[in-house]
Amino acid sequence: MYSVIYPPTINYDWMFQRPQQLMRQFGRLGWKSLYINAPAPGRRLTGPKVDRREENLYILNRENPRNHVEGKVVYFFSCPQHVEYIGAFREDVTVFDNLDEPVEQFSRWAPWYERALSTANIVTCTSEKLYNNALRLNKNTILAPNAADFEYFAQAQTRTSLMPDDIAHLQGKQIIGYYGALSDWVDWELITQTADSLPENTRLVLIGPMYNISQIPKHSRIMYAGLKEYKELYKYLQCFDIAIIPFKVTSLTESCSPIKLWEYLSAGVPVVATAIPEAMKHPEVNIGKTPQEFIEQVKFALNDKDIEKKNARIKLAQANSWEARAKQIMEAVDAYVTNLVI
């Protein structure tokens, strides 16, 4: 029996991302998952001290996880400064989940980053660039890219629900969709150029919170729909004719593994991305290396109704589930503990 502890990093119910997905899967696969909650942006932490969401998944609000551990303890952290907590939970195994390079927006992580890599018993990395860099400091490093909650997002393969009220007025128009953080790693100039090039019956719908920016471009063909709850997200995705990942190509994005890529693919929609490495690895994704190429790929994808391509996208997503990723990490922990015992 293992108990896995995740330190307070992101509110469990705010932008359901890799930490929440993996901790939920660890619980479903037999570990006792203890997720120490953090306040959502601009909100106070509320809720019971121990909020049992699933059989093995506990959300802890101002509660000591040591009061609830059973068996061997795994400390699983993804924010580099939480290397400072190593030993605080009297854990048997420490896993650093390496999500981003400490540059640009995440440069504040730099003072702790290499110590997290070298101190953890196991390092898991979301991209090949992060993996190759981490391997120099820790031989117990594995590549575990982001993935999809396939069963959930597969609901968007067909339009089984009514269009959400706030985009219902777009009925009959082609929708180019993006969801995720609206930040300065998004190429806003490219977004504007794409909107300028679109036919009148097409709209670009942006979903998510603003992060590190205060406004988005105002354009007659761009609609900002705001942040949506995870449980509502597939209802928007099912309305996308195509989905985009319009990231600037920088040192930061060269090391990122966009979760939205796998979620888009789960729905079977054509995906157009800029030339970021983790998207370019997959021929199922349309890549635009220049602004003009990106716009051309968008126009091509809007008219691409090839069912074989759609099935290939769905098959790729299905092979990259959070359950598979969680199993990979759990197996690495088992192997590490077994070697210690031997």
Q: Measured between alpha carbons, how far is residue 282 from residues 271, 277, 313, 316 in Å?
A: 11, 9, 10, 9
3-state secondary structure 172-237: CCEEEEEECCECCCECHHHHHHHHHHCCCCEEEEEECCECCCCCCCCCCCEEEEECCCHHHHHHHH
Q: What is the pLDDT of residues 131-144, one digit of tens each?
A: 999 999 999 999 99
**Mean pLDDT computed over 33-61:** 94
Determine the 3-state secondary structure of 288 from DSSP.
strand
Q: What is the pLDDT of residues 236-283, one digit of tens each?
A: 999 999 999 999 999 999 999 999 999 999 999 999 999 999 999 999
Exposed, middle or buried by CB within 10 Å (0-12, 13-18, 19+), for 224?
A: middle
Confidence of residue 8 (pLDDT cuts 50, 70, 90): very high
Q: Which of 23, 43, 45 is nearest to 34 (CA)?
A: 23
Q: Is the pTM of this model over 0.75?
A: yes
Supply the Cα-derived Rg of the chain in whole angstroms: 20
Give the per-residue pLDDT at 162.
84
Give the per-residue pLDDT at 341.
53
Q: Which of 97-111, 120-134, 145-159, 258-272 has the lowest mean pLDDT?
A: 97-111
DSSP secondary structure letter of residue 256: -
Domains of the chain plus CATH, in order, are 2-145 (3.40.50.2000), 150-318 (3.40.50.2000)
The mean pLDDT of the chain is 95
Longest distance between any two alpha carbons in the chain, whole Å: 67
Give the per-residue pLDDT at 342.
38
